[in-house]
Structures are given as C-alpha cells and as structure tokens.
Amino acid sequence: MLRRLVRFIFWTTTLALLASGAVAFVLWRELAQDLPPVEELLRYRPPAATLVYAADGSLIGEFFEERRYPVSIFDVPRHVKDAFLAAEDTEFHHHQGVDFAAIARAFLANLRKEHIVQGASTITQQVVKQLLLSPERSYERKLKEVILAQQLESKLRKEKILELYLNEIYFGAGSYGIVAAAQTYFSVPVEELSIAQAAVLAGLAKAPSRYNPQSRPEAAINRQRYVLRRMREEDLISDDEYQAALAEPLDFEGSRIGTYSVAPWYVEHVRRLLEEQFGEGFTSRGLRVHTAMDPRWQDAAVSSISSGLAHIETKWRLRVSVDRLKKGEFESYLARRRASGTPNGPQNAIVTEVVAHGDDPGVHVQTPWTTGFIPEAELIAARGSVRPTFFAVGDVIVVDPIEPREDGSSRFALDRDPQVEGALVAIEPDTGLVKAMVGGADYPRSQFNRAVLAKRQPGSAFKPFVFAAAVDRGFRPDFIVDDSPISLPNGARGLWSPRNFGDKYMGPVPLRTALAKSLNSVTVRLVGLVGLDPLRDYLDIFGFSARFSRHISLVLGTAEVTPLELARAYGIFATEGRRFEPVFITSVTDADGSPIEFPGAHARFLPVMRPETARTLTDMLTTVVESGTGRNAQKLGRPAAGKTGTTNDSKDVWFAGFTPDAVAVVWVGYDGSRPLGRRVTGGAAAAPIWTTFMIEVLDGQPVREFTKPMLPAPQSVEVAPDALAGPPASTSPDESRVPPG
C-alpha cells in the first residue's frame, strides 16, 4: 500500500513538473517569438545633443530633443560606476542578466499586496526595458524583460551594458545620461564628479522627480546617504571616503549653456542652416558644429547696438509710443490685442488722458484687459524721464504692470526697453567669414532676425552700385555731371521730380563729390548715361536675392534688401571685385568626430567686377568718410570706406562700410513703417554705431591701407546730358524726397 502511494506521488509530481515545464516552454516560446531582436542594441546609438561652437572653440549653443552627451564607459570614474551599482544592482558583475533571488523576493512582496509594489530589475533588465520594451508594469512585460536580458548578456560585455545604461537613463531637469546630469546639477564634467556627487546622481535613477536635488534637496540628501551606506556595506569605498562624502558640502545650482544666451540671432541662423541641410532630426545626431562667430566681435556688436539705440532715443527724444490711433479706433484695436495677447508682463496700452498738473500728474491708459494709471515717477523710457505732456491721447505705448490701485484699476510703469530696432552684420572680407551678427535690440523681446530676414529700403547706401556701373563703363571719378533739379515723365502720374535733401543743388560737380554728398539728381542722371536696363543687368553681379523691378527710383535705394545682402555686396568692393557667399558654419563632425561635408563651409570667391573698378569705388567711398555724409567714421583713425543711407522720412537709416579687415553694415529703424524723424539720418544714427563697433574689433590690429586705383589724368570738364535711356517707369510719389543720408 505504501509502495503504491509513493509511486502515485512520484508520477503525479513528475507529470506535474512535466506539464509545468511544457506550459513554461510554450509560454517562453510564444513570448520569445514576439520579442524585438536584441541585436538592435548592438548597433544602438543614443540620441545626442548637437553642439555649436564659436571660432575660438567656446560652446555657444546646443540643440536637442533629449539633452544627452554620450560618454565611453572607460571615461567614467570607478567610483561613479560603483555608486550606481550600489544603488541599483550590487550583483551586476555576477549574474547573467537576471537576479532570480531578487525576483523571488519581489514576487512574494507583490503577492502579499495583491499588486506590483516592488521591482527586481537588474541594470541589464533596465536597459532592455528602456530601449526595447514598453514601460508598462505587468508580469508579461517582466517575463519578456528576463528573456531579453539574458540574450543581451550573451552578446555584450558588462562594460558595454553599463555604458548603455549610464548614457540612457533620465536624471530629471531635462537631462539624459550621466554627462548631462553632472553638468545640470554640479557644473562639472563626469570625470570630476566626487563620491558625494556621484551618490546624489545614482540616487536619482530610482525616481528623478522625487529626489531632484534642486527642487527637493532634503529628499535628495537622504537618498544620497542611502547610496553611500550601500557603497560602504559593499566595500566599494573606505570608511574615510564614506565619512568625507557625508561631510562634503553640496551646491545643486549647476549651470548649462543656454541655446540662445550667448549669440542668439547667430545661433538661431545656424539652426536654420542645419535644418535645411540635415532635416529636423539633426538635433539628435550629436553633431559638433563649428562656426565663424568671433566672441570678441560678437560682444562688440551687441554692445554697439545696445548703446547706440539708447543714445538715438536720448539724442532725438524719439516718441516712446508704438502707434497713434484715432478715438474711433480704440475699441477695435483693444479687441484685436485681447484676442492675440496675454494680460501678463509688458502689454500695449492706449493713452486716454494726460494729467500734467495737480497732486498726481501722470497718464491714464486703457489696456485690452483693464484701465490704469502711470504716475509721472514711472514715466521713464530708455533715454530717461519724460513729462506727461510728452504723450497725447491716442498714443499706443508699452507698459509694465506694477500693482493694483485702490479704485480697482491698475498701476503701471512705462516699459523702459527701447522701441527702436537695429541690426549689425560683420564679415571678414579675406575669408568671407561672418564674425558677428545682431538681429535686433533685445532677443527675449523679439526673436525676429532683422540682419538676415528684414528686407528694408537701403536709401543712399544703394548708390555705390549705380556709380560702379558708370565707372565700369569708363566714367572716372572726376567726370562732371550737372547737379540741378530734374523732372521725368511718370506715366499717368505726370512728372517725377527727385530732389536733393533740403532742395540744395551744387551745379556741375564731379562724380566723386556727388557720391560723397549723396546728390540725388546726379544719381538719377547716371541712369541716362548707363541706361536703365543695362544698369539692372549690371546689378545682378552683386548677388541680391531678387532681380529689381524696372523702376528708375531703384537708383535712390527704394528696392528692398537685407543687411546681410548689403554687406555681401559691399564685400565685392572690399575684395577688389570678388563675390562670395558669407560663411556661418566652418565645419561639421558627427558624434565620433568624423567630418561631414557641409555646403558653404568655405567661401568661394567669384570674380564679378574688374579690380580697377572696385578700387576706384573704394577710393570714392573713402571720400564719403573724409568729407561727405560718413564723416563720423573718421573717428576710427584708419582708412575706411563707406556710405550712409536714409530713406523717406527716415524710416530706415544705414551705414555700410569697410576697411581692409572688416565689412560691416548697420541698420536702424522701427519694425513697422513708422519714421524715426527727419533729423535722424544714416550719418548721425547708424554711422556712430558702425564706428564704435569697428574701433573695438580693430583695436590692436595693424593699420592696413587700401590699394589705390590707377587713375588717369583728370578728364576735361564735361556736363552729362539729362536724357534717360529707355522709357520711364512708374514710381511712388514719395520717392521724390529721398534724403542723402
């Protein structure tokens, strides 16, 4: 009887084990068939941030979807690796991907609680979970994790698995991988992490938000002490190291380069160029992008624009209003602003009443959301304090909320940021390198890059191209042209009568003087000498993005160009007749340091103008600086050539100039079509910014002279005819008053 019972138990147990094994085998096979191939991890490259560097190698920006900088495991200090092993997987070097004892403990704990409360994932399991599986918490996913972990251990060395883990893990605060975490929380490279710092980062692996040292420092320290204790228990650090780590003071402020903090408009333009070449995915390719930007030039450009715009507002007492409305337009304007804006921060407001006298002088305003009052003490613009009478009812101004008033309205202050905008672009002519670029007064306020995107009328800064066409056809600088009033047929509009600034005329003058004094009537007469259509053909050599319309007025600068286009065109004079594409990006490498071809990384110089023509125009443009509208540039104290530009009602003012070492263009104006005022000209507003910039960037550089042209003996005095080649073209009425700059 006993023998039968033993046999029964034996066979029953055997059959149960076989059945269980069969079920397990079938289950294992079914799961294995539905698993992603672990071979993917053998070729896996973690997404890495693309970094942008200045010409001196300093980091100026970064682009990423996940902020990660992959590192080789051999560059990670031993104590950093040990901290993570102590916190996450002390048996890492002894198991084959799975710690079955830990799984059993977790299984019993979860069984008691009737839901998953404890995990037992090894570092290998965490790698396959992060990179191959979904984050769901289920027994099926856990079984898949076990299978894949064992497969991975059979194909990769432990060091490589740990490298994948340290580069992939999320540490909070937008940081992926150990390198980004070290920078974010401690401002140090991973090689310089101390034991105490490493323990903090290892503690983050469990729950980055719960143990974030910047937002929850007490929880982070408690977790760090747990990690240090585990390191000591596992004999990964000595007692002295343990005590020193506990006592080490920690600063969790950290630091990181801001993508748009150093040279924002330059870096953003680089981003656009990279996206055009590589597509949106370039941000995760770990590219290393080296640019032509010179930090010293860039700093000079920023400070010159900033101080220059503030000086302009101060000197000419420019209105700080951004618009002027009629009373019937108030409500519709406020409704539009309400639909597109926010009541937080600086906001547009309409002046509804001006209180000039009494105990509480100031300005009453209406914003899209509330009424308010600006006391006289808060009427401070970029140029200084202003009186309430500086404003009129209907002015639109920018205000900053301060505090509510007792009557329920709001108290405001006048926004002190200058409303005038400016742009500067500077190129090294010998290389075509764009070494500095500023696209506006304040990047946080407006990210629009006026240096490369804003098409504005260049005014008289366009005239050198017209004079170059004449010189290229044999007209020398001493050729005499009549400077007197001129009227041209203008179709149905009658006559077009371009006038000189101030209606002043000089009679017969040499071309050199006409360019220096920016005489409009002489410039228009040159069209009769060159021909309108031949002139338009000639302008193609300067490489402007669009062919200009057949309007005679284009010779006075009514066509629209960007500051970068104008700088490139002036670069032809500076390089003695060669045109180039401005270079922003000088080289690109992949994450391994291998070069990647990038179009335009090196300037290609194309001869487009006779060298003697370019030298002659340069010589004529030095006269503009010596005795013409660009006299402010004399303060540079070295040879300089350039031309001012001022459009109708001073809506745009310019100075475009160069030395043998640098070409720079400065534009000043409002974003809209609002005039700066008739007293604000290119020579008085833009040229000082240009000069300030050039003085700083050329300081300490040897003085270089321009190559003098081989000019023949003076021609006999000859007054050019007034006839125009080709039929007249229609022009807008206000193009008759283009000032000289």
The predicted pLDDT at position 140 comes to: 60
> What are the strands, taking DSSP E only, across 157-267?
175-176
Which residue, chain included where needed, has tokens 């070097």?
93
The whole-number average pLDDT for the span 3-16 is 60
Highest mean pLDDT of the ranges 6-15, 386-395, 592-601: 592-601
Q: Is the dihedral of CA 251, 253, 256, 261 positive or negative?
A: negative
Alpha-carbon Rg for the chain, nearest whole angstrom, is 36
Question: What pLDDT score was predicted for residue 249?
Answer: 94
C-alpha separations of 625 from 53, 502, 506, 628 in Å: 36, 21, 19, 6
Reading the block at residue 65, the tokens are 């979807």
Residue 377, Cβ density class (10 Å: 0-12 exposed, 13-18 middle, ≥19 buried) = exposed
Taking the alpha carbons of 470, 476, 479, 485 in that order, is the dihedral positive or negative? positive
Q: What span, in angstroms and rounded, lies between the C-alpha atoms of 175 and 163?
A: 16
CATH 3.40.710.10 domain position(s) in the chain? 421-728
CA atoms of 666 and 305, how far apart (whole Å): 9
Residue written as token pair 């974003």: 671
- The encoded tokens of residue 672 equal 């809209």
Q: What DSSP element (H or E) covers 113?
A: helix 100-113
Measured CA to CA in angstroms, residue 582 lies from 244, 400, 663 at distances of 55, 40, 11
Query: What is the model's pLDDT at position 339?
Result: 76
Higher per-residue pLDDT: 668 or 495: 668
- Per-residue pLDDT tens digits for 126-143: 888 887 765 665 556 667
If one compares 617 and 18, the residue with the highest pLDDT of the two is: 617
DSSP 48: B
Pick the closest to residue 614 from 577, 563, 646, 640 (CA basis).
Answer: 577
At 564, the pLDDT band (50, 70, 90 cuts) reads very high
CA distances, 636 to each of 625, 660, 691, 698, 703 (Å): 10, 13, 6, 9, 11
The residue count for the chain: 741
Confidence of residue 735 (pLDDT cuts 50, 70, 90): very low
Residue 740 amino acid letter: P
Q: Which two tokens stand for residue 420?
A: 């005038």
Among 442, 368, 376, 440, smallest CA distance to 414 is for 376
**d(C-alpha 683, C-alpha 459), whole Å:** 12
Burial label, 355 (beta-carbon count in 10 A; 0-12, 13-18, 19+): middle
Is residue 736 very low, low, confident or very high in pLDDT (cuts 50, 70, 90)? very low
d(CA 739, CA 488) in angstroms, rounded, equals: 18
Which residues face 323 on adjacent strands? 396
pLDDT at 327: 83
Q: Which of 25-29, 368-372, 637-641 has the lowest mean pLDDT?
A: 25-29
Where in the chain do CATH 2.40.50.140 domains reside?
319-414
What CA dihedral angle connects 85, 90, 92 and 93, to 10 degrees? 100
The residues near 357 (Cβ < 8 Å, ≥ 6 apart) are none
pLDDT band at 124 (very low <50, low <70, confident <90, very high): confident
Q: Which helix (H) or strand (E) holds 366?
A: strand 362-366
According to CATH, where is 1.10.3810.10 located in the chain? 76-247
Report the pLDDT value the prediction gives residue 150, as an integer from 0 to 100.
Answer: 84
- pLDDT value at 18 more than 90: no
Q: What is the CATH number of domain 319-414?
A: 2.40.50.140
pLDDT at 469: 96
Q: What is the mean pLDDT of residues 168-191?
A: 92
What pLDDT score was predicted for residue 62? 92
Tokens 């900033």, located at residue: 306
- Cβ(383)–Cβ(314) under 8 Å? yes
List, in sequence order, every beta strand (DSSP E) within 299-356. Answer: 323-324, 347-355
Q: State the Cα–Cα distance between residues 48 and 689, nearest whole angstrom.
A: 40
High-pLDDT (> 90) share of the chain, %:
56
Residue 552's SS3 state is helix
Tell me, what's the pLDDT at 162?
95
- Mean pLDDT for all residues in the chain: 85
Q: What is the CATH number of domain 76-247?
A: 1.10.3810.10
Q: What values do phi and psi take at 400, rounded to 5?
A: -115, 130
**Closest Cα partner for 521 from 555, 491, 546, 545?**
555
313-327, 433-447, 515-529: the lowest-pLDDT one? 313-327
From residue 718, give the alpha-carbon distance in Å to each of 31, 167, 509. 97, 78, 10
Query: Looking at per-residue confidence, does 214 or 27 come out higher?
Result: 214
Reply yes or no on whether the pLDDT at 117 is more than 80.
Answer: no
Examine the pLDDT at 691 and tell me if it is beyond 80: yes
pLDDT score of 728: 40
Alpha carbon distances (Å) from 343 to 129, 347, 395, 525, 654: 45, 7, 19, 55, 36
| C-alpha–C-alpha distance, residues 696 and 685, integer Å | 18
Q: Is the pLDDT of residue 29 over 70?
A: no
CA–CA distances in Å: residue 239 to residues 236, 246, 666: 10, 11, 64
Cα 717 from chain centre: 53
Q: Quick: pLDDT tens for 373-424.
A: 988 888 876 556 778 888 889 888 888 888 765 666 788 888 766 578 999 9
Which two three-digit tokens encode residue 495? 């006559």
In this structure, the number of other CB atoms found within 10 A of the CB of residue 44 comes to 13
Confidence tier at 730 by pLDDT (50, 70, 90): very low
CA 22 to CA 187: how far, in whole Å?
Answer: 55
pLDDT at 42: 75
Q: Which 8-state DSSP code applies to residue 719?
A: P
The third-level CATH classification (topology) of the domain covering 421-728 is: Beta-lactamase (3.40.710)
Q: Which residues have CB under 8 Å from 172's CB, separation 6+?
A: 204, 208, 209, 212
* Burial tier of 199 (Cβ tally within 10 Å: 0-12, 13-18, 19+): buried
Q: In this structure, what token pair is assigned to residue 11?
A: 């066979």
Distance separating alpha carbons of residues 76 and 159, to the nearest angstrom:
11
Taking residue 727's Cβ as centre, other Cβ atoms within 10 Å add up to 10
Nearest to 119 by CA among 41, 207, 181, 213: 207
Bridge partners, residue 585, by sequence: 291
- Active-site positions? 88, 460
**pLDDT > 50? residue 716:** no
